[in-house]
A and B are shown apart, each in its own frame.
Chain A
Amino acid sequence: MYDVAIIGAGITGMSIARELSKYDLKVCVLEKEVDIAMGTTKANSAIVHAGFDAKPGTLKAKLNAKANSMFDQLSKDLDFHFRRNGSLVLCFDEKDMDHLRDLMEQGIQNGVPDLVILDKAAVLAMEPNLSEDVVAALYAPTGGIVCPYEMAIGMAENAYENGVEFFFENTVLDIQKLNNGYALITDKNTFKSKLVVNAAGVYSDKMNNFVSSSKLSIIPRRGEYCVFDKEVGSYVDKTIFQLPTKLGKGVLVTPTVDGNLLIGPNAVDIDDKDDLTTTRIGLDEILRKASLSIKKMPSHAIIASFTGLRARTEADDFIIGEVPDAKGFINAAGIESPGLTCAPFIGAMVKEFIVEMLHPLEKSNFNPLRKGIHHFLEMTNEERKALIKQDPAYGKIVCRCETVSEGEILSAIHRPLGATTLDGIKRRTRAGSGRCQAGFCMTRVLDILSRELEIKRTEVTKFGGESKLLVGKNKQDV
């Protein structure tokens, strides 16, 4: 019997898991995919929002600014990339200035510090590559950027080190009420737990509906993106939003913490919760809209595109708390934007509920620190020299675009909750995420995975399931 079972290994589930790992609790995480952060957490804008966006009074508004201020310490403790680059909301029409001022007002109400409206000259001085059509902008210095999957993986590793158990490739198919808790039935096993935390992202409605008569319904809302080569990664330094107008919400242009440029997303409601395809119309739309913000769209430098799904509910707000007609079942559902930003706070909130219910003791040996992979690219030559001396595998470069060494790949595989797939390696080391998109390193990484995990090369996958890369030996079917 577990004390707490968390469904979903996205940023929400991982924040909660890490918070709970501070206590003397038996906690497990059930995740349907092979790895952490394979849902919405892997595909979003990666912005740590300042907090002016949400309507005052909503949970989103209440949590955002507070959660934002947690990132400096958290990124240090868990060793993930975070940069407070600041954000600008661009206004293109004098007539919309009132909206811009309203937005600033809303931000102040939400507790966002240091907001200021800049005139055209000041905006262009700050960001020379922005469009000349800008008339003013709202500047939020506390806005930031983060690597969302690195953050989730960091939290997961830390939770694991502090005793949380993980079960991947376990899809929760049903949840049944027991006298003293719940039985979670997955395709592999049955897990019994006193409390359940529902952090299942776009599937959090389904989990809720297993146990409650107040039904939730999530309509996945697609958002598409294009990623650009690092060559144009510093085209802008701040995160550039567009002031929402009658014509729609607009799209953003931002650097990523890894040094690429990112544009997107659009917003299209769809029915399939697993549909992560990109569309011609969608990609054209974001390219067209993003072009309004900047002088020249560097279309030649696009290296990849992707889709993320928002967990949109009718309430249009986070749903966090115990389900009234299901004691001990706690929702962290409908966590759409700014869910990434708010995750650390949601983790703390859910922990409070659970502490109140179970009164656990705090662990004396909780270790808040996690050390990430040594990234060759980010080291000085002195550091590299020392590391290679210790472990020569760091002297062998496997991914040429991102300069990732074999040592990093091995560390990604062998660390706690290590990578088992090509995408797992990519998210932990960036091998394959550069300008050639794994053209060079795919064969090498595949060989290393096969060797280290002692599986056949034909069993290595891109992201689990049937996403195999090789089908057999040459001439097998001739």
Chain B
Amino acid sequence: MEKLLLLGAEAIAQGAIDGGMSGVYAYPGTPSTEITEYVQNNKIAIERNIHRQWSANEKTAVEAALGMSYAGKRAMACMKHVGLNVAADPFINSAITGVNGGLVITVADDPSMHSSQNEQDSRFYGKFAMIPMLEPSNQQEAYDMAYESFEISEQFKVPVLIRITTRLSHSRSGITRKELKSENPLTYPEDPIQFVLLPSNARKRYKGLLGIQSAIEEAAEKSEYNKYIEGKDKSLGIIACGIAFNYLMENYPDNNCPHPILKIGQYPMPYSLLDKIVSECEKILVLEDGYPFVEEQIKGYFDKSGKITGRLSGAIPRDGELNPDVVGKALGKEIKQYFKVPEIIANRPPELCSGCAHRDIYNALNETMKEFGKQKVFSDIGCYTLGALPPWNAINSCVDMGASITMAKGAADAGVRPSVAVIGDSTFTHSGMTALLDCVYENTPVTIIIADNATTAMTGGQTSPATGRLEEICIGLGVKPEHVRVLTPLPKFHEEMVKVIREELLYEGVSVIIPRRECIQTATRSKKEQKVKTEEVAQ
């Protein structure tokens, strides 16, 4: 079959399509976004009309995917690691309800925090939910695992978690496809109360989940993704999870590693293979991209022998992603470096595009806030978070999606006046609406600026469900129509913006200001696409 050059994220998408997926549900988030984008543009997905529109957030995504699984079809929900915090409730409970059609949750972790607030490791969630977990080491495995994951889910009747990290997600390699499977027919669960988690039924279902644990452990033992590779020199045994295996092999170019290796790609951890390597070898080095998930478990609480090494022992740095050099160093290899970075090299941090509407918003807000004092602006996650950097230094928080409004509320409750929130349109519909309702419910004096650029810009310009309906949402939630103010963020309207912001800052109640102008990047892109289209028509 044909060989495709795909990002790890795209390989997962192609594997899921070929594996008979009927729907992908996701909210964008680096480094997971490309999975859904690939499905959106894929020919088979379009022909089959596979569900591929964005969800409002990760929780709604997992729930919708669970609904599709209820109806017997194969569904995948995708998100970045912190998205799984948002979706944790349906995620954990879907292990108790179990599935009908195969259900797969794909989570992309971001060790080193290239584009994230933390570097949490999703494998803990998989263990917490007590479900099978897959962690590919390369693009081909990413494809194969996604392809097979629905069957594993249907075999054990529970969801399956696929965990990848940034480097695999954003690295391209050739993959070979498998045969395209047909989609599942629509069927209802055999047991009509399978999904009813009333305590009496939940207890029963939970016992069922406990009951299959030995079977999913056995499956991991036998999995082709967990491999014991013999080695003569047993002074050291190496356990390599997921992509760490590649960094290990990079240090032994001709596959000539003298030590036994246990490559892990499927969890729960393969107990007897671990037992074999730990008892055979004098010392163990655990290589895993993320937290010391395996190391901590095999070391246990009381082992002070120093036999198990990795991130906890200091053999590998405790934080940050792995790479061939970090791994090489832990193996005692010499790191080559011939040139240093010259001292004159300056940092080049990301910045708001020139002409971006967020610039005009912060210019107006900063001028207005001069009169009201510092440290009163709570913000959120998106391009506008760059307002935390010079020259604006305009915001004082960025914690999790939606937190700007609720933190502004809490601060207002504590007496901060004025208390301001700056949030993007997509972040607002992701998690800001319930926060706004809290404010309306108590008529808390907060001024909420929803920076509406008609897109989810930070992650590359996906559509935003807020587009065209922000005023209605705010008024519908109970904000007084005269305190919903729409502005056009352009330098020529600076004075007017300052005036309106000032009026609302002085109002002792909930007000929403919506500066509205399309993101420069998406505007230019749609112009270009329009041009290509008209040229194609003309030809």
Q: Do A and B truly interact? A: no
Interface set of A (CB-CB < 8 Å, partner B) = none
Interface set of B (CB-CB < 8 Å, partner A) = none
